[in-house]
Amino acid sequence: MATIEEALAIERLERDIFRGASTESQLPRTFGGQVAGQALVSAVRTVDRSFQVHSLHGYFLRPGNPEEPTVYLVERIRDGRSFCTRRVTGVQDGQAIFTMSASFHHGDEGPEHQDVMPSVDGPDDLPDASVTMTPERLWAMREWEHWDIRTVPQEQVVARDGAVSPQQVWFRYRHPLPDDPMFHVCTLAYMSDMTLLGSSKVIHPDEPTQNASLDHAMWFLRPFRADEWLLYDQSSPSAGFGRALTGGKIWDRAGNLVAAVVQEGLIRTPRHK
């Protein structure tokens, strides 16, 4: 399947118009992380390199066709001294399938603090997902064969008090990536959509549902590399009315909190004709 370089590849058609590549996929619709990642790459291409992306907020409006490229229209909302803002719309067949706002910051000095990383088994103590994946889920390993994903067994998950549906996942890209920090940010935007909605199924493992990402927000807090181990500490504080709220904190192996994610997803009982 596609490498992350292929999945995030875009070409510039006009000053603020880009086209994202379509890549080989087993999915019936374009993977949300790919759309978000390509949209972010498009926004990055319109911002001075002295700025770094610090947040994004996106909505998945329609399912994308994985066999068709997506065109990204970038609006330059603001270019300030400390912050820049871009709005990106992903379009297929004349219809918007995704919209995103991304904010970029020049960087400032200020107080610092962070939560403490959960105490969990390291990735070296956990089996690769290819070993633990059920036969009916092996397609996922083929789809994301370039990612090393290791889920902490549920009985070993360290959850904060009151968390009803926690999940913890170690992940990294299997191959060395370019040193460009912005490429790692866009790679994490791609990866952040993977496994997160699954936290809402932890306490409903046998209940059939239709699942899809509805919206997605990220904050990039500290430098990191996506080709080194990252811990995705996830939870789903609420599910109801066919939707689930999920969130996650992403830590590097040294215990630095590098990103935070919040997502609402569709998790409804299948509709029968």
CA dist 98 and 265 (Å) reads: 14
* Statement: residue 136 has pLDDT above 90: no
Confidence bin at 205 (pLDDT 50/70/90):
confident
Confidence band of 137 (pLDDT split at 50, 70, 90): low
Q: In the structure encoding, which two tokens stand for residue 243, read together? A: 């939707």
Asked if 172 contacts 229 with a C-beta cutoff of 8 angstroms, the reply is yes
The answer, yes or no, to whether residue 273 has pLDDT greater than 50, is no
- Separation of alpha carbons 198 and 165, rounded Å: 10
- Asked whether the predicted pLDDT for residue 208 surpasses 60, the reply is yes
Residue whose entry in the numeric block shows the structure tokens 């080989």? 24
pLDDT higher than threshold 50 for residue 264: yes
Residue 198 has a CB neighbour count (10 Å cut-off) of: 18
Domain spanning 1-106: CATH superfamily = Hotdog Thioesterase (3.10.129.10)
Q: How far apart (Å, rounded) are the C-alpha atoms in residues 10 and 128?
A: 31
- pLDDT at residue 169 greater than cutoff 50: yes
For 123, other C-beta atoms within 10 Å of its C-beta total: 20
Q: What is the mean pLDDT of residues 155-166?
A: 87
Q: Would the CATH topology of 1-106 be identical to that of 123-272? A: yes
Domain ranges of the chain: 1-106, 123-272
For residue 220, how far is the Cα from the chain centroid?
A: 12
Residue 142 is predicted with a pLDDT of 76
Residue 199 has pLDDT above 60, yes or no: yes
Q: What is the mean pLDDT of the chain?
A: 93
How large a percentage of the chain has pLDDT more than 90?
83
Neighbouring CB atoms inside 10 A of 216's CB total 26
Average pLDDT score over residue span 169-177: 96
Give the per-residue pLDDT at 252: 98
pLDDT value of residue 139: 63
Please, how many CA atoms are within 13 Å of residue 52, restricted to the half-sphere of its CB? 16
Q: Is the pLDDT of residue 72 over 90?
A: yes
Helix, strand, coil shares of the chain, percent, nearest 5, are: 20, 40, 40
Over residues 12-29, the mean pLDDT reads: 94
Instruction: Name the architecture of domain 123-272.
Output: Roll (3.10)
Sheet (strand 243-252) strand order: 10-14, 17-20, 70-79, 83-92, 95-105, 52-60, 210-220, 257-268, 243-252, 230-240, 166-173, 147-151
User: What is the pLDDT confidence band of residue 206, given thresholds at 50, 70 and 90?
Assistant: confident
Query: Alpha helix (H) ranges present in 68-197?
Result: 129-132, 138-143, 181-191
**pLDDT tier, 167 (very low <50, low <70, confident <90, very high otherwise):** very high
pLDDT of 53 strictly over 70: yes
User: Is the pLDDT assigned to residue 88 strictly greater than 80?
Assistant: yes
65-85 mean pLDDT? 97
**Alpha carbon separation from 164 to 39, 58, 195, 214, 236 (Å, rounded):** 33, 26, 17, 21, 7
pLDDT above 80 for 164: yes
Catalytic residues: 193, 213, 263
Q: What is the mean pLDDT of residues 219-231?
A: 98
d(CA 83, CA 50): 11
pLDDT value for 128: 79
Q: What are phi and psi of 252, to 5 degrees?
A: -85, 175
Between helix 32-44 and helix 181-191 the angle, nearest 10°, is: 150
Burial (CB < 10 A; 0-12, 13-18, 19+), residue 213, is: buried
> Cα(12)–Cα(149) distance, rounded to whole angstroms?
33
- What's the whole-number mean pLDDT along residues 62-66? 95
